[in-house]
Amino acid sequence: AERNPGQSEYLQAVTEVMESLWPYIEKHPKYAGQGLLERLTEPERAIIFRVSWVDDHGEVRVNRGFRIQHSSAIGPYKGGLRLHPSVNLSILKFLAFEQTFKNALTTLPMGGAKGGSDFDPKGKSPGEVMRFCQAFVSELVHHVGADTDVPAGDIGVGGREIGFMTGMMKKITNRADCVFTGKGLSFGGSLIRPEATGYGTVYFAEEMLKQSGRSLQGLRISVSGSGNVAQYAVEKAMALGAKVVTVSDSSGTVVDEEGFSPAKLAELMEVKNHQYGRVSDYARRTGTNFHAGARPWDVPVDVVLPCATQNELDANDAATLIKNGAICVAEGANMPCTIEAVKAFEANGVLYAPGKASNAGGVATSGLEMSQNAMRLTWPRDEVDARLHSIMTSIHEACLQHGRRADGSVSYVDGANVAAFVKVADAMLAQGVI
């Protein structure tokens, strides 16, 4: 804590991982030496830079840009870029730390990174977003590369922004290297990448339920958020026979007791992805209920998929969900549940998967995009989806292998943390003190 003052999110993420690792390291003392934990909790590099751009009124605006290159132990740095006014060093360090573990779980050779800026895309014109992205890349270019560090999208960075960044990268470098993932299909993108995080989260929830002889068929699900991850979680959950009764954004929650349908999801995508509108606009257009200022957690459901942002579900929310009979929580977002909420789920027999396991499908498919780019090929949709599905199944198996408790139940938290740690730690030990 003294080394990272004021970095509450970073300390929260490290604490959660270390609580899983201590018992394991006590039994496997080779991981206690070589400054391994000290090195693993210090990013290899943290870059902070000025991003200046000109708005539609001719005013100069200045934002702060970041790239945290946390670990390259098992492959090039890899992780998304977030554009949101809340972005700061603590949040990006927590995300880069988590990314290192998540990427290790995917079975693909990718290190961990995260970046972004405190730029707020809300209310900005497309021209302003483009000029910001270009200014951001004019510095980022010095730190990334197809074999060095491969950024992708995150909150506030979707296909449009990745397109602007890819264009500027080519302009500056005069190279067609695919430095970003999440690209458009016509310039090196992969089929299924937009869907991958949401689909993967639902595939993972399905594996968790299978353990207790259940499936998603007929279950009630609450989803939070209404962005990229949330939309495709809704789509896949519906396809597997579940009834999705909520979506949300930072202004409130839509509660739809009839459940989502493909037509309603198409409407949500139109409002969010093309008009850059709010879920309240969606509720008005579809005649569904909108609860201003509310989060989805007091709606009774079987399965909970938090897909918005960090610390959006606390101990009180967890108590309500448990009281209302929830049986499974799979995180689509990164660290949406507070440590206390996680403890409550685990203590009450609710199956709970941390994002580093359940939402790893997005970065895994980014890894598949990198493979296709390296081969200069495009795999068909079914092939990418099948690989995504099999990666999610193997992450689930790794969690079972390392997370089985004495009573036969599973801690997905311990399983994911230990499985990822062993892979990264072994690579670090083999490569010496660097």
E strand or H helix that includes residue 49: strand 45-54
**268 is a site residue for ligand NDP (CB under 6 A):** no
| 30 labelled catalytic | no
CA dihedral of 95, 79, 61, 6, whole degrees rounded to 10: 20
Does 368 sit near ligand NDP (CB under 6 A)? Answer: no
Q: Rounded to the nearest 5°, which phi and psi values hold at 17?
A: -70, -45
From 56-64, 150-158, 257-265, 409-417, span contacting ligand NDP (CB under 6 A): 150-158
Is there binding between residue 20 and ligand NDP (CB under 6 A)?
Answer: no
String of DSSP letters for 57-107: TS-EEEEEEEEEEEE-SSSSEEEEEEE-TT--HHHHHHHHHHHHHHHHHTT
Asked if 334 touches ligand NDP (CB under 6 A), the answer is yes
Site size with ligand NDP, rule: CB under 6 A: 26
E strand or H helix that includes residue 383:
helix 381-403
Is 63 annotated to bind a ligand? Reply is: no
Tokens of 286: 């579809």
Positive or negative torsion for Cα 239, 242, 243, 244: negative
Based on the shown chain and the rule CB under 6 A, indicate whether residue 417 belongs to the binding site for ligand NDP: no
Site for ligand NDP in 301-330 (CB under 6 A): 307-309, 312
Number of Cβ within a 10 Å radius of residue 432: 7
Among 227, 252, 354, 415, which residue interacts with ligand NDP (rule: CB under 6 A)?
227
How many residues comprise the chain? 434
Task: Tell me: does residue 189 bind ligand NDP (CB under 6 A).
Answer: no
Active-site residue (options: 93, 114, 243, 264): 114
Of 34, 250, 371, 378, the one binding ligand NDP (CB under 6 A) is 250
Question: Among positive and negative, which fits the CA dihedral 83, 128, 134, 58?
Answer: negative
Query: Any contact of residue 155 with ligand NDP (CB under 6 A)?
Result: yes
Nearer to ligand NDP, 138 or 181 (CB): 181
Query: Is 99 marked as binding a ligand?
Result: yes
Report, as residue numbers or ranges, the catalytic residues.
114
**Residues found near ligand NDP in the complex (CB under 6 A):** 84, 86, 153-156, 158, 197, 225-230, 249-251, 307-309, 312, 332-334, 359, 362
